[in-house]
Amino acid sequence: MSGEVHWTAWIVFAFFFALVTVIGFFASRWKAGDMSELHEWGLGGRRFGTWITWFLLGGDVYTAYTVVAVPALVFAIGAYGFFALPYTIIVYPLVFAMMPRLWNVCRKHNYVTTADFVEGRYGNHWLALAVALTGVLATMPYIALQLVGMQVVFEGMGFGGVKEGGEIALVVAFVILALYTYTSGLRAPAMIAFVKDTMIYIFVLAAIIIIPAQLGGYRAMFDAADKVFAAKGGATGIVLQPSQVVAFASLALGSAFALFLYPHTATGTLAASGPNVIRRNAIFLPAYTIALGLIAMLGYMALAAHVTAKGTAVVPALIMQSFPEWFAGFCCAAIALGALVPAAIMSIGAANLVTRNIWRPYVNSNMTPAQESNVAKITSLAVKFGALVFVVFLPLEFAINLQLLGGIWILQIFPAVILGLYTRWFSARGLLIGWAVGMLLGTWMSWSQGVKPVFLLPGIGTVYIGLIALAVNIVVAAIVTVVAGKGATADDTQPSDYEDAPGTAG
């Protein structure tokens, strides 16, 4: 989108961006630690309490792309786009039950990544490598989509193309992000998350009060949206269509299983100061789901307001149309910060995996802690700029398609990581072969559907491909375990490692 540059909005936007830049560089002095050690740079020293973790995970899960993509999906197809709500409800009981166990064993053995845990649990570096590669592969397009969230905000403020300087602004924003992440590590997004989340809540509160009032109230808004969907026909509407139920439910369930397997969410969880911090956050984090439901309704508001933008540009266009420029700049800044926080954590999570599970075992097995930290810092820079290349030089659809595949791929490490928290019955060989089959099957099924996340199963309905591939993955892993036997393993964990130890409850 190009056109008139909204300078008042840009001035407000620049003020808040400058504010978080200062905070980002200051963060290295907050809860000060030795940044030459990976657990300090990449996990904040595992010292984040309940409220810091709440903001960090909230900023990690509810990203800029979520804020623009979920309403855009609702704008395009209606109630089906609300699948994000049940999945962010289902996930927190799973977090409450599983993630404290992961935290306990990782703290006991100084594991920094889920791949560290898998190698320690199964004694197999190839399985750990598979988990690490899957995490990095699934994260790269996810970071790119945060850039897309920033890009559509710039376009909404009339500063989108090369001539208008949109790409320059994007590059400058991410250079600054890269620098303060390099110096401050996970502490930077943790501090910025306080500002970002407060701004998002103000934006959402204003939007759900002011915009419907401009449209004649919620009833008029829903009526207008319903008429648009009725005119479109097909499987769209403000309520879920019967043909969408299985796909809706399976997408929600599969997404819930996948969410905390991503490196960024695992990193945010392992940075907590204790298992009770994680449990309390599993109780409090659904407050963000309420905000997400309200954000999703922006799609209906855009329909009723006759917003002419398409795709991810819908929300910025609605903001610029509905609010005075100064407040529109505030809202756009909130969305942009919603890109910086998760992008920083994602790059750190990917860097931790590369350092601990790829570089150290296969390039330099004798790294000192300082060398380990330096490799992670450099890798985080490379990951960010790799994502920047996605957005500046490649078609947007490429990043979106890879991110859709990323959700399918990350689910394939569920047996090794999550089932591994409770049982060692599966052999490492079985899990590795099951992972490979799940990855290949999921990729093929999605590709055969035009890189879509669902597949029609006769007699069942349209089902999320990630769940189908995961089911086959587990069956193959079980068969290989039974047929080939468990083989030699070197588990360095004990049953007591998974339970809360004195002084670690948080």
pLDDT at 340: 83
Confidence label for 221 from pLDDT (cuts 50, 70 and 90): very high
Top-ranked range on mean pLDDT: pick from 50-59, 84-93, 160-169, 466-475? 466-475
Inform me whether the pLDDT recorded for 23 exceeds 70.
Answer: yes
**Run of H or E residues at 409:** helix 396-411
Mean pLDDT of 51-72: 85
Consecutive H or E run containing 234? none
DSSP string across 135-190: HHHHHHHHHHHHHHHHHHHHHHTT--STTTTHHHHHHHHHHHHHHHHHHHTTHHHH
**Does the pLDDT value for residue 487 go beyond 70?**
no
Confidence of residue 165 (pLDDT cuts 50, 70, 90): very low
Whether 344 and 181 have beta carbons less than 8 Å apart is answered as yes
Residue 109 CB-density burial (10 A; 0-12 exposed, 13-18 middle, 19+ buried): middle
pLDDT above 60 for 163: no
pLDDT of 184 reads: 81
Q: Which is more confidently placed, 149 or 239?
A: 239
Task: Read off the pLDDT band of 162 (50, 70, 90).
Answer: very low
Hey, how many other C-beta atoms are within 10 angstroms of the C-beta on 394?
A: 12
pLDDT for residue 502 is more than 80: no
Q: What is the pLDDT at residue 88?
A: 87
Percent of the chain with pLDDT over 90: 47
Q: Tens digits of per-residue pLDDT, 258-294?
A: 999 999 999 999 999 999 999 999 999 988 888 888 9
Architecture of domain 7-403: Up-down Bundle (1.20)
Q: Does the pLDDT at position 1 exceed 60?
A: no
- Per-residue model confidence (pLDDT) at position 3: 58
- The helix/strand/coil state of 238 is coil
436 φ/ψ sector (left φ>0, alpha ψ -120 to 50, else beta) = alpha
pLDDT-based confidence at 482, cuts 50/70/90?
very high
Query: Is-contact 2 164, C-beta < 8 A?
Result: yes
Domain ranges of the chain: 7-403
CA dihedral (113, 434, 94, 263) in degrees, to 10, reads 30
Q: What is the mean pLDDT of residues 3-13?
A: 83
For residue 70, count CB atoms less than 10 angstroms from its CB and return exposed for 0-12, middle for 13-18, buried for 19 or more. Answer: buried
Instruction: Pick the range with the lowest mean pLDDT from 1-5, 223-227, 263-267, 473-477.
Output: 1-5
Per-residue pLDDT tens over the stretch 74-103: 998 889 889 888 988 999 999 999 999 999
Q: What does pLDDT average to over the chain?
A: 87
pLDDT at 135 over 60: yes
